Amino acid sequence: MHRILVINPGSTSTKIAIYENDKLNDKITLRHSSEEINKFDSLYSQRDFRKNIITDFLDNNGLKISDFHGIIGRGGLLKPIKSGTYEVNEKMIDDLKDAKYGEHASNLGAILAEELTKDISKEIPCFIADPVVVDEMNELARLSGHPDFERKSIFHALNQKAVARQVSKKIGKKYENINLIVAHMGGGISIGAHCKGKIIDVNNALNGEGPYSPERSGTLPLTGLINLCYDSQFTFQDIKKMIKGKGGLYSYTGTNSGMEIQRMINNGNKKYEKYYLGLGYQIVKWIGQMAAVLKGEVERIIFTGGLAYDNEILMPFMTERVSYIAPVEIIPGGDEEKALALAALRVLTNEEKSENYV
């Protein structure tokens, strides 16, 4: 039996999960108030605060760090890397500590895993897996139309890989031998072309490419965006917020809640229905693009993320439009803690080897 501690840091929370092999033993979200977080001048300086909260939780449950066979944290903003489970090393910690590639709460995943093992004599391996910077794009996919702008791979790699493996196992085939299209649909939306175990093309879900989402504008008409940037009434921060945070469904309806929008549609709000189906319309267009990338050879199309829970409006609308390409699988939500635990387990059981971050 392998006992695994999973750490998933958010901006105002730290999610903890304890797995025994692939079975969840316990799971909790440890909340942090704004007052607690605001007293720190950087993410890295929060490490002792969050570490102590984790150890207090374990102590209260009769556990200590030495009881675990492995610790895995959510992967942060690192340099582009291939998919896999990475053992935490000094180079990784240095890049995350200095926020070399950007600052995000998930940067603390590897840092906290290492901090928790510093003061014990037992050697416990620490990992991250499939961070958002996983990059397996082919060379043609990187071309944007101008040499100063290279398309980048930043997306929901952890959940995309997890559901792709799950569906491959369900249909009795190896992930490395088939083609899939995965649409992760949450606050951000990413659509990936999975070609025999590698995501060879995907939209940059973080920085504004792709379909519009509950709060992101997606790909906008270029000339209109340029004109807006030169309009003196808007600041740089205004434009950024318009694209990410107050774009997408929020800009049309004033809410980024899929559940609220579904409720309004069920109450007869035709305007909300148009904007909601517009989101689905853009998603299926991107799925069509990825089908072309895969030459039409697609084993399954997978819908996942929070919006995949909507089996009354959105899922039927999109399934009708893409099922001619391949059968559709719907896996609602995105269990990041389980995906991380299974990634660590594959290494601990020698099903796969850990990668080295260099």
Partners of 146 in the β-ladder: 149
Provide CATH 3.30.420.40 ranges for the chain.
3-133+337-356, 156-326
Please report the pLDDT score of residue 12 as a whole number.
86
Q: Quick one: pLDDT band at residue 77, thresholds 50, 70, 90? A: very high
CA distance linking residue 157 with residue 84, whole number of Å: 10
Please report the pLDDT score of residue 82 as a whole number.
95
* Level-2 CATH architecture, domain 156-326: 2-Layer Sandwich (3.30)
CA 228 to chain centre: 30
The more confident residue out of 223 and 35 is 223
For the sheet with 3-9, list strands across it. 23-31, 13-20, 3-9, 70-74, 126-129, 85-87, 355-356
Q: How far apart are the first and last CA of the chain?
A: 31
Counting residues of the chain whose pLDDT is more than 70, the rounded percentage is: 100
* Residues 242-294 pLDDT 10s: 999 899 999 999 999 999 999 999 999 999 999 999 999 999 999 999 999 99
Nearest one of 79, 49, 52 to 65, comparing CA atoms: 52
CA 19 to chain centre: 21
CA distance linking residue 198 with residue 180, whole number of Å: 10
* Residues 102-137 pLDDT 10s: 888 999 999 999 999 988 878 999 999 999 999 999
State the number of CA atoms in the 13 A half-sphere of 282 facing the CB.
22
CA distance linking residue 272 with residue 269, whole number of Å: 6
Q: Quick one: pLDDT band at residue 348, thresholds 50, 70, 90? A: very high
Please report the pLDDT score of residue 93 as a whole number.
97
- 3 state SS of 21: coil
Q: Quick one: pLDDT band at residue 295, thresholds 50, 70, 90? A: very high
Please report the pLDDT score of residue 206 as a whole number.
81
Q: Above 80 in pLDDT, residue 101?
A: yes
* Residues 150-166 pLDDT 10s: 999 999 999 999 999 99
CA distance linking residue 307 with residue 245, whole number of Å: 17
Q: Above 80 in pLDDT, residue 73?
A: yes
Select from 1.20.1300.10, 3.40.50.800, 3.30.420.40, 3.60.20.10 the CATH code of 3-133+337-356.
3.30.420.40
